[in-house]
Chain A
Amino acid sequence: MLEIPVLRWGKPYESFDQQEVVHFETGEPLAKVHQANAGLVKMDMRKAQRARDLLREIPCSKLLEICKNAADLYMTAELPLGNGKQTPEEFCRIQSASTGMPEWMCAGNMKKISFVLENMESILDSLTRGLPLDILTRGYGKEERGVMMSYQANSPVLGLVLPSNSPGVHTLWMPILPMQVGLVLKPGSSEPWTPYRMTEAFYQAGIPRECISVYPGPHDVGSTVTELCQRVMLFGGQQTIDKYKGNPNVQAHGPGFSKILLGDDVVDRWEDYLDLLVDSIFQNGGRSCINASGVWASRHTEAIADAIAKRIGPAGPTSMTDPEAPLAAFTMTGAAKAMNGQIETGLSEPGVTEVTAKYRDGERLIELERCDYLRPTIVHCANTDATLANTEYMFPMASVVQCDQKEMLRKIGPTLVCTAITEDQQWSQQLLDATHIDRLNIGPIKTNALNWLQPHEGNIVEFLYRARAFQNEAPAAH
């Protein structure tokens, strides 16, 4: 069987503790993943600075080339994995088998990662606002306009506590190495595949092995990574987000509560945007934080809900190898059932109606022997106080909420991606000023249409580097 060791600054370590990753449908063991203990992480973190020192010996321009090579290797090469090897096709198959994502979605996520790596130069140029990258290496330098700039790394490494169910989010840590910061990865228990394959692609492309550690392990390994790395990106539910709120060392990613707002000036033409609404809710199995979980409008909401429901309501599970499989499975026992129960409770509130039920044959919850599915669900909320007006679940589910335009900004709550379809200049300015919206699209743009030249949930450059004053000559008198 495939055995995957812990990687301690690139050095394989075989632990006595191992965890099997199993096929979610058959229970067949797919691999044994060696488990780190918290002490190993503590011991290794004492050498974290070495990762940054080694990366700083490689010019950023060279690191950008390495990223391009890594992108190619990740997409096309047979790469070592523990005691075996893995082709890209095998990667998609095994990732699908452990996470419940259809294979075509796994392949799609590979493309996203590869795209980010290939275009790293433009991405960094954009995220750093055109900063010459050698300023990150040296700590200071002059921009073309002759202004002295100084950036100080907040941490020699970025710790990542990664999720089990959403391979797409791995794109977020791709820009770290070319910014000369080391990686400490704690993979999710069902999705060790992307961290290991990416790590191997980086190694083969020329990143020194000592710059990346991969620590699969139990919960306390994740908390040790979070505690010891001075900068950490982690993924979890709302509780996790709340726990790290206000902690400048931690960038916590959770449910996005992404929404589409239809302005009063366009809402009578809502049918023109139906494709956009459907795609924002439905693509990638509705699993991403950037999938829309709400559509807000002041009128026509019942018709909008019905039209979306008619399009996506009939969708149901198919084989993981189906190139058009629309839904991902829930592989954690009881998770789908619990969500279904919460939705049913929400539906009992006044003014809340499920619209999809009439378009599907059977129940929302499909319970199989070893996994479950939730079929697409569109809910109409006649008021904004309903619990389901602002919820998010990891399947195609959205609420179409009736709300006056002037109330929307006050009522929508924290929103990762907000697509506001409007030409109303005054409202647009209010949207621009709204601090509870992270990524703002004004115009007909899908919530899940990412522009990698834009920051995603905070600018990774600002997270990793601190802009500060620096002088190496006395300032002019004034």
Chain B
Amino acid sequence: MTDNNNLDELVKQNQEALDAHTRESVQWHFSPETGSPYWLEKAKTLDFNPLTDVNCFEDLNKFPLFEDDELRGGPVDRWIPKALLGKPTYVFETGGTTGIPKSRVVIDDFRIDYENFSDTLPDESFPKGSNWLMLGPSGPRRLRLAVEHLAQYRGGISFCVDLDPRWVVKLIKKGKIDEVKEYSAHVIDQAMAILGAGHDIKCMFTTPKLLEALAMRLMDEGSSIEEAGIKGIFCGGTEFTQQWYRFAREELLGENVYITPTYGNTLMGLACGRPFDPADDYKITYYAPQPRAVIRVVDFDDHTKVVGYGETGRVKLFTMTKELFIPGFLERDEGEREVPHEKYPWDGVSGVRPYHKIAQSTTVGVY
């Protein structure tokens, strides 16, 4: 059997697993015993019966597009499946620079997502038992708790430095660039203090812009990320381009520091990057954590139609965990559809960037 046949077989198996997982999820979220008030109420407005008419992943196209405005405002417990009521619950926010932010209630999903992600990290670059620096937005977002759990799951302790992107966006919109610089310097000051305090930090989560700022500060002080003791960086949260990836590897970090790009959000969990291959010109391809979340690259004009491999389309997200069911939501991103990989035998997406029609009106990459 050739490698291609192997991959084909893996893809087939995963598709079957995805179909089974879809059926199971729909039964869970639409059953009167276990489902959430939101979906049980919504089912009354549908022109089909999810419990009988959804038998495979493709059947999710029967649902209308999920509008993220549904996540704004309360009561948030309408999202909690009855079977999970009473468990300790978090609420994580996304957006919210203006108006009411989108909220997602979470019980265990962030832990499961980050444990799964942990299994994709190479131990030599993210040594088990070593401590972490989490340099990025915390507040009402899930990142701080998630990275903290990741560190703990791997036997370490996470030190956190916060940055509030909502404040930065406000400063930028007011043209207060000096204050943005001052705030950024304040954040990096704290990271420098932690790195210099003998906490034996070897791993880090941060965003591209903060990594750039930290690396430059260390260089200004005659040091480097590597000399500061960092071996592995998991980086994401804002746009992470192929060119920036190359710049980071070639100039910012040096060859002994490992960096892995990630793409994620409060609804999806954490997509993993295809393993780095220099022959691939630093191309970044993400694979969603199937079957808990699924990404499809769909036609800009018809979200039920998946584009061909290598073609460009909008990122459509499906989430199917015990805690959350999202049967198709158009992300604010676009990219190219990529073929499955042996490690991730399902569709991937590369070149992820803000959807061209809304990119110009969005303040991105502030942190």
Contact = CB atoms under 8 A, between A and B. Distances in A.
Interface of A: 15-17, 35, 37-40, 42-43, 46, 220, 223, 227, 243
A218 to B, nearest CB: 10
A46 B219 contact: yes
Contacts of A17: 241-243
A228 B281 CA distance: 29
A16 B175 contact: no
Given A16-B282, A227-B181, 4 more contacts: A16-B281, A39-B251, A43-B247, A46-B219
Contacts of B175: 243
B243 A37 contact: yes
Nearest to B242: A16
B219 A39 contact: no
Nearest to A243: B175
Contacts of A15: 243
15 contacts: A15-B243, A16-B242, A16-B246, A16-B281, A16-B282, A37-B241, A37-B243, A39-B251, A39-B252, A40-B247, A40-B251, A43-B247, A46-B220, A227-B177, A227-B181
Given A227-B181, A243-B175, A16 B212 contact: no
CB-CB nearest 6 A-B residue pairs: A16-B243, A17-B243, A16-B242, A39-B247, A39-B212, A37-B243
B244 interface: yes
B257 interface: no
A39, A40, A46, A220, most chain B CB atoms within 10 A: A39
Interface string B210-240: 0010001001100000000000000000000
A243 B177 CA distance: 10
Contacts of B282: 16
Contacts of B244: 37, 39
Contacts of A42: 212, 216
Contacts of B212: 38-39, 42
B74 to A, nearest CB: 37
A46 B181 CA distance: 17
Query: Is chain B's binding surface mostly helix, strand, loop or mixed?
Result: helix
A28 to B, nearest CB: 22
Interface in B287-330: none
Query: Is chain A's binding surface mostly helix, strand, loop or mixed?
Result: helix
Interface of B: 175, 177, 181, 212, 216, 219-220, 241-244, 246-248, 251-252, 281-282, 365
Contacts of B251: 39-40, 43
Contact of B247 (A37, A46, A227, A243): A37
A220 B281 CA distance: 23
B219, B220, B247, B248, most chain A CB atoms within 10 A: B247
A35, A37, A40, A46, most chain B CB atoms within 10 A: A37
Contacts of B241: 16-17, 37
A243 B176 CA distance: 10
A38 B242 CA distance: 14
A38 B244 CA distance: 9
Contacts of B181: 227
A466 to B, nearest CB: 21
B223 to A, nearest CB: 14
B224 to A, nearest CB: 12
A43 B247 CA distance: 10
Contacts of A35: 243
Nearest to A40: B247
Contacts of B247: 37, 39-40, 43
